[in-house]
Chains A and B, each alone.
Chain A
């Protein structure tokens, strides 16, 4: 198995751990942004770390919780920075935005209808005596 394939597989494991798939909410997992993640400014640091903690003799792609945990523990700063970047790419991804939107979102094709106010709820305030201090 090629080294890049191993890295790719393990990066996918990390992304899917950070954001798992949700059947209930019909949301894909974090690896939906795998391709975009390769342009992350820390990608080389992340790849090096993946290699460092992977058992390359065992070239199985099936790694799980222990791999994620090893990654986390070995460089917490890098892991937290990675999480933030995953969130950034995930929540600005067009498929994700589309799934979240039951309303108009940028770039705003149509705008939103917002409930008109029921003015009766303002009655008590309207009837308050003047609240500002006279000078």
Chain B
């Protein structure tokens, strides 16, 4: 068996950032990943019938994909189903690359609004890591946004196009905030990555290499620095000795053999659903409720970002099918709390470009009975390239009753119990959603839309899985401390979105990675002290 200092579980957004950051520390690093590298030549978008693969191999639901790297998730009782991707690079393979940061207020919601808890760290603590992460990933944007503290970008923002200008005029008419999207997409060539050429479906993998997924950003550098990456390996449990010290993990390798890997320190980076699953499955005589769970909070406080969707149809061709699907413009007019609105916290409006032909047709099929039959082509042409979508990303506050538990009747290929999602929208979330849908409609009307439809929460949109091993200073009210170190086991750390105290109202990838860099810096600087 290889002697390893640090073992990282999961190679996605957070695991990759930690692996790279620790790779120049002189410590030996291994990462265990249940999936494999996805060859970009195999991305659906290298084929003419690319949209078909959204229904199987590249479907965001692990229950539909059902690949050998996936484990099923029981989300049948949740209004929002879980979306993810299990491979080297994790969900960054399929994310849209929308990359805004948290706001300073997001870390202090209790101090400001008397809701939930404050993070034990603040925006300023993470700011250097946000900057470092932007540089490592390749992020584009425009400085000067009044909704944020000052930020600078290496790459010019992605072009907003005719669609962006159309909706911008609506925002301007109402006097509301908007700004070109912050995107993990490079807009000019960088090494062997091509700059964005406005192809469209970033969320099916980017064969151009313009979208900053971690398989092409952090991983090549980490591997160059001798990090060992073991793919097609599934962790069964984390192993602890009689002194509460983590000694390694039991895992199944690609030949389905159960092996033990010793490590001086273990980092969990398996996502907001995978991390609590592993901890809850790591039961022993001394830890009948799983590891790091003396607070009873592992799996609790699940936050999912319920999404609202508003879509406007326009008379003229606004070329809404050109350019990165999820990155156009955003509005944070209603981001911060205004008690006059009747709820706490707020939301981001993320403007979306039109999906491909098949998705457009499918959406019409479910929404319009007359789409089948003689009006078919007319109705299709009214939509294709002529719609603007707005995703309403609301801040979901933590509730202990929203949780991930184990479903003993649902097991994966190795017989390991799988997660069950127990989730309901809170009253506050419902109010924010309604407000967001109405304001979305208002801005589309102000932009000149002929007709507007709206609905929410969107079912297949549980990409942002947060809060299930909450960070905090009080060991009885949280799972990890301000450095991602579990209160119960000093050599067990968590770096993924499980540790979020609150969810903010933006896509979490940028903050996940900034946190991972911040925590791995702490580990790097204090390794000997931690393990002794």
Residues of A whose CB lies within 8 Å of any CB of B are: 17-20, 22, 24-25, 27, 83-84, 87-88, 90-94, 96-97, 100, 103-108, 110-118, 121-122, 124-126, 128-135
Q: Are B377 and A24 interface neighbours, CB within 8 A?
A: yes
Closest residue on chain A to residue B375 by CB atoms: A20
Stretch at the interface among B90-98, B302-310, B356-364: B356-364
Q: Which residues of A sit under 8 angstroms from B376, Cβ to Cβ?
A: 18-20, 22
Closest residue on chain B to residue A103 by CB atoms: B322
Q: Which residues of A sit under 8 angstroms from B199, Cβ to Cβ?
A: 104, 106, 108, 111-112
The SS class assigned to the A binding surface is: loop
Flag B128-159 by CB within 8 Å of A: 1 or 0 each. 00000000000000001011110000000001
Q: Are A135 and B108 interface neighbours, CB within 8 A?
A: yes
Flag B81-107 by CB within 8 Å of A: 1 or 0 each. 000000000000000000000011101
Q: Are A114 and B161 interface neighbours, CB within 8 A?
A: yes
Q: Which residues of B sit under 8 angstroms from A20, Cβ to Cβ?
A: 373-374, 376-377
With A87-B365, A100-B384, A118-B165 as contacts: A112 and B48 at CB distance below 8 Å: no
Q: Which residues of A sit under 8 angstroms from B55, Cβ to Cβ?
A: 88
Q: Which residues of A sit under 8 angstroms from B180, Cβ to Cβ?
A: 117, 122
With A27-B377, A129-B146 as contacts: A92 and B198 at CB distance below 8 Å: no
Q: Are A106 and B336 interface neighbours, CB within 8 A?
A: no
CA distance A103 to B160 in the complex (A): 17
Sample of 15 further A-B pairs with CB below 8 A, known A84-B365, A91-B357, A110-B197: A20-B374, A25-B377, A92-B49, A103-B321, A107-B45, A108-B208, A115-B165, A121-B168, A124-B172, A125-B146, A125-B172, A131-B146, A132-B105, A135-B104, A135-B112
Q: Are A133 and B105 interface neighbours, CB within 8 A?
A: yes
With A113-B198, A114-B161 as contacts: A132 and B336 at CB distance below 8 Å: yes
Q: Are B161 and A124 interface neighbours, CB within 8 A?
A: no
A-B contact pairs, 28 of them (CB 8 A): A18-B376, A19-B377, A27-B377, A87-B365, A91-B51, A92-B48, A94-B49, A106-B48, A106-B199, A107-B45, A111-B198, A111-B199, A113-B198, A114-B159, A114-B322, A115-B165, A116-B159, A121-B165, A125-B179, A126-B144, A128-B146, A131-B336, A132-B104, A132-B149, A133-B103, A133-B104, A133-B112, A134-B104
Q: Are B177 and A128 interface neighbours, CB within 8 A?
A: yes
CA distance A49 to B321 in the complex (A): 39
Flag B166-197 by CB within 8 Å of A: 1 or 0 each. 00110110010111100000000000000001
CA distance A17 to B319 in the complex (A): 30
Q: Are A114 and B46 interface neighbours, CB within 8 A?
A: no
CA distance A97 to B107 in the complex (A): 47
Instruction: Report B11 CB to chain A, min CB distance, Å.
Output: 26
Q: Which residues of A sit under 8 angstroms from B46, Cβ to Cβ?
A: 106-108
8 A-B pairs with the lowest CB-CB distances in the bound complex, closest first: A111-B197, A92-B49, A22-B377, A91-B358, A114-B159, A133-B105, A112-B198, A114-B161
CA distance A115 to B198 in the complex (A): 11
Q: Which residues of B sit under 8 angstroms from A96, Cβ to Cβ?
A: 357
Most buried by A among B104, B123, B197: B197
- Asked if B258 lies at the interface with its beta carbon under 8 angstroms from chain A, I say no
CA distance A135 to B108 in the complex (A): 7
Closest residue on chain B to residue A117 by CB atoms: B160
Q: Which residues of A sit under 8 angstroms from B319, Cβ to Cβ?
A: 103, 114-115
Instruction: Report A127 CB to chain B, min CB distance, Å.
Output: 8
Instruction: Report B359 CB to chain A, min CB distance, Å.
Output: 9
CA distance A104 to B45 in the complex (A): 12
Q: Are A92 and B146 interface neighbours, CB within 8 A?
A: no
Q: Which residues of A sit under 8 angstroms from B123, Cβ to Cβ?
A: 135
Q: Which residues of B sit under 8 angstroms from A24, Cβ to Cβ?
A: 377-378
Q: Which residues of A sit under 8 angstroms from B358, Cβ to Cβ?
A: 87-88, 91-92
Q: Are B146 and A130 interface neighbours, CB within 8 A?
A: yes
Most buried by A among B180, B333, B361, B378: B361
Q: Which residues of A sit under 8 angstroms from B122, Cβ to Cβ?
A: 135
CA distance A93 to B172 in the complex (A): 41
Closest residue on chain B to residue A118 by CB atoms: B165
Q: Which residues of A sit under 8 angstroms from B111, Cβ to Cβ?
A: 135
CA distance A19 to B384 in the complex (A): 16
- Asked if B254 lies at the interface with its beta carbon under 8 angstroms from chain A, I say no
- Asked if B12 lies at the interface with its beta carbon under 8 angstroms from chain A, I say no
With A20-B374, A91-B361 as contacts: A106 and B44 at CB distance below 8 Å: yes
CA distance A91 to B178 in the complex (A): 34
Q: Are A107 and B160 interface neighbours, CB within 8 A?
A: no
Q: Which residues of A sit under 8 angstroms from B105, Cβ to Cβ?
A: 132-133, 135
Closest residue on chain A to residue B376 by CB atoms: A19
Closest residue on chain A to residue B199 by CB atoms: A108
Q: Are A131 and B147 interface neighbours, CB within 8 A?
A: yes
CA distance A105 to B200 in the complex (A): 8
- Asked if B207 lies at the interface with its beta carbon under 8 angstroms from chain A, I say yes
